[in-house]
Amino acid sequence: MDWSRRQVLWAGGGMGAAALLTACGGGDRARSSGSGGKPRKGGTLRIGALGRSSAITRDPHGTQGNESDYLVIALVHDTLTAPGLKDNTVGRLASSWKPSKDLTTWRFTVAKGATFHDGTPVTADDVVWSLRRLRNTPAGAARLPGIKADHITAEGKDTVVLVSDFANAELPLLTRLSTFVLKKNTPDKDIAEAPGTGPFRLDWYRGGNARLLRNAHWHGGPVHLDAIEVTMFESPQAMANALMSGQIDVASNAGAVAARTAAARKDIQVVRRPNDMAMPLVMRTSGGPFADPGVRAAMKLIVDRKAMVRQVLSGYGTVANDILGTGDPDYATSIPQRHRDLARARKLLKDAGFDFSRTYELVTTEDVPGLAESATLFASQAREAGIKVKVVKQESGTFYQKTWLKGDFYTNYWGTNDSVVFFASKTMTTGSGQNEADWSDEAFDAAYHKVLATPGPKARTAALHDLQQIEYDRSGYLLWGMADGIDLAAPAVHGLPQLPGYGRVQLENVWLAR
């Protein structure tokens, strides 16, 4: 399982090229819920987050399968950049950044006054060491695409230089998710307890649960809460029950079923984060029954998207159009919405010589609410087109070991509803580290690099449209819908983030009216 699986990190969209070409940073804080008056200082927020004991990790650069672990890590450690409300990418530990004219070299400036929790100033050397460590992880190439470890260097005390193998106008956006910074030369044995630079510092951590204390000297501004207590739950239902009984104040990412139940309770806030989670079906393109583009197009015409959103997500979501990155400001809404068309689907399948006598396995897991349900409903819809689909449920560990990245046909989810380019770089370009459909398309690769090398907003939007058209026409993703992110909260909780993805775990603006 990779860091992108359960943690449900996030963001929303592509950064405008005009902003890219000037020094950027600082800026807006994430949108938050429940204005409810002037923020108060103090109090302890008790928050529940999903996780499993078998998947616990403490390494900010490691494989993070638990949302609970990611939440703790994101509160203790800062990334270089973060999602923003007005600007899609804003500063976090980096206060500004500026590219070279050819978009291959980027200089990030460390925020003034940034210190680790022990009071040590953050230097460019710390950032370089951290990014090189991140790059040298198994998923490093996907986390910092086009950036070799040796091409990350310091320039003075506060400037970090990243040199890309190719022009990359989107590089600041790609540093939003996992570029957590630690002290230079922190031994691996000390990583779990290492001081960070984030708005909270670790008090203790026990088996997935943690207590965090306010960092009164955080460079990013005032932090309202005295402390946050994170409790790990293995099921959304258990977490929601804990909220209902008053054991916790927030049930993070509780899901549609819990939201439906809580909707009748006037003493529970239901905080929705639209466009939070992509829930595609993945078809292997390099071999097997879905290698033919005509077969893939037919499968996309078989699904009844509205019914999927209505039944699988209980209406807490929106219909999607087979393009990942729906939160991107340059998402191609001009590409016609694909609708169910069984007659056309049957013709495409017949033309492709599709074997209607076979039974095709659709593998899923109950790792996240809705995945197994989406598989079952799709199988039912496929029968109406004469296709026999057998749903196979696998335990989470087995699924990610044996099916993810390897299977012919499986369910998937991405809580990182980032830009179109984010998904292209990580899941669709030839040889990308998380190429879930094993897709390789020369025209798509060329379109991707054209987008990265295009600085002008209008030209970039046009190039990005071409990229999305190719994805829509022939990729291995059947993206039927986008699920809302849903937090349940007690009435006293104010300021919960409403941005999806990584923006969701930024809790420095949360305050308690009690």
Residue type, 282: V
Decide if pLDDT at 243 tops 50.
yes
Q: What percent of the chain has pLDDT over 70?
A: 92
Using left for φ > 0, alpha for ψ between -120 and 50, and beta otherwise, residue 289 falls in alpha
pLDDT band at residue 35 using 50, 70 and 90 as cut-offs: low
Give me the mean pLDDT over the 284-294 stretch: 97
CATH level 3 topology of 78-187: Dipeptide-binding Protein; domain 1 (3.90.76)
Decide if pLDDT at 10 tops 80.
no
The two domains 39-77+198-268+490-513 and 275-484 share their CATH topology (first three levels equal): no
Decide if pLDDT at 209 tops 90.
yes
Q: What span, in angstroms and rounded, lies between the C-alpha atoms of 280 and 300?
A: 11
Give me the mean pLDDT over the 414-430 stretch: 85
Q: Which two tokens stand for residue 153?
A: 């260097």
Decide if pLDDT at 447 tops 90.
yes
Using left for φ > 0, alpha for ψ between -120 and 50, and beta otherwise, residue 25 falls in left
CATH level 3 topology of 275-484: Dipeptide-binding Protein; domain 3 (3.10.105)
Among 456, 508, 499, residue whose Cα is nearest residue 88: 499
Residue 421 phi, psi dihedral angles, 5° rounding: -65, -35
What local confidence, expressed as pLDDT, does residue 276 receive?
86
pLDDT band at residue 416 using 50, 70 and 90 as cut-offs: low
pLDDT band at residue 419 using 50, 70 and 90 as cut-offs: confident
What local confidence, expressed as pLDDT, does residue 141 receive?
84
Residue 271 phi, psi dihedral angles, 5° rounding: -100, 115
Beta strands per DSSP E along 329-387? 359-365
Taking only the tens place, the pLDDT of each residue in 310-337 is: 999 999 999 999 999 998 888 999 999 9
Question: Among 38-47, 182-191, 262-271, whose mean pLDDT is lowest?
Answer: 262-271
CA angle, residues 143, 145, 146, in degrees to nearest 5? 150
More confident: 329 or 215: 215
Please report, for the chain, the start and end positions of each structural domain, with discontinuous segments joined by +: 39-77+198-268+490-513, 78-187, 275-484
Q: What percent of the chain has pLDDT over 90?
A: 70
Give me the mean pLDDT over the 301-310 stretch: 97
What is the dotted CATH code of the domain comprising 39-77+198-268+490-513?
A: 3.40.190.10
Q: What span, in angstroms and rounded, lies between the C-alpha atoms of 410 and 234?
A: 23
